[in-house]
Chains A and B, each alone.
Chain A
Amino acid sequence: MATFSLLVTANPHSSQGQFSAIQFAKSLLSIGHELKRVFFYGDGVLVASRLNHPPSDEYNLTKSWAKLAIEHDFELVACVTVAMKRGITNAVEADRNALTGDNLDPAFEISGLGQLTEAMLESDRLITFG
């Protein structure tokens, strides 16, 4: 069995990449592989907002990632630089930058690019979904 990490750069609102990534994650977990971390970069970080609110008959990626990560104990990490740029922030960063609110879903964390490198070093495979 192998250890995987994923790099997701696809925009959750306008691209299939995030849907492919979550399907891939479910598949690899279902056959006994380990998923260490999903790192969101570029437009991929947009999925980390708890305010994402798709119509009720559409798939909710934010909640689906959160559920899967909690069930299987892997990390959802959004890159801080690109997240802040896109208005995705946790309370700490909002406070530090004098922003009026925060919107990071509690299942996600915001951290640096070092977490992507570390994921590579500690995984057998890193798969990109763009």
Chain B
Amino acid sequence: MSKSLSIIFNKAPYGLQSGRELLDIALMAAAFDMDIKALFIEDGVYQLLDNQQPDVLYMKNHSPTFKALDLYGIETRLIAEHDLDERGITQEQLLPVAETTSQETIKQVISESDFVFML
């Protein structure tokens, strides 16, 4: 049976490289046929904002790569609705790559995973 892996994005992009690094881990693990869940919580919801322009910060924009999660067979992609609301972000402002859900559902997914990554 393949092992399951939750990858938790909980930080905003560009101030730290953790979002990009987690994305690379997710795509690599997907190539090994692991059962992967991408979870966006707390400031991690900023990772999915559409129309990011980090080039003004001399940073590479890694957000288009989130669209590849689906192509790599990462079917569970969840955003904590509560954390979106708390930050005044609507789903229309996000890349259409993940669905919103409750914190309870996200906790459940994490507790059922063999491995959990958060950088």
**Chain B contact residues, CB within 8 Å of chain A:** 3, 5, 17-18, 21, 24-25, 28-29, 31-32, 34, 115, 117-119
Contacts and interface: CB of A to CB of B under 8 A. Distances in A.
Contacts of A81: 24
Interface stretch (A30-38, A51-59, A94-102, A113-121): A113-121
Which of A9, A121, A130: most chain B CB closer than 10 A?
A: A121
A118 B32 contact: yes
A4 interface: no
B28 A116 contact: yes
Contacts of B18: 42
Given A81-B24, A120-B34, A121-B34, 11 more contacts: A41-B25, A42-B18, A112-B28, A113-B25, A116-B25, A116-B29, A117-B28, A117-B29, A120-B5, A120-B29, A128-B119
A112 B17 CA distance: 18
Interface residues on A, range: 10 to 19
B115 A120 contact: yes
**Ranked 7 nearest A-B pairs via Cβ:** A113-B28, A117-B32, A117-B29, A120-B115, A126-B115, A117-B28, A42-B21
Contacts of A117: 25, 28-29, 31-32, 34
Contact of B21 (A82, A114, A126): A82
Contacts of B117: 7, 128
Interface secondary structure of B, over-half rule: mixed
Contacts of A118: 32
Contacts of A121: 3, 32, 34
A114 B25 contact: no
A9 B3 contact: no
Nearest to A123: B115
Nearest to A120: B115
B17 A42 contact: yes
13 contacts: A41-B21, A41-B119, A42-B17, A42-B18, A42-B119, A113-B24, A114-B32, A116-B28, A116-B29, A120-B34, A128-B118, A128-B119, A130-B119
Interface string A62-105: 00000000000000000001100000000000000000000000
Nearest to A128: B117
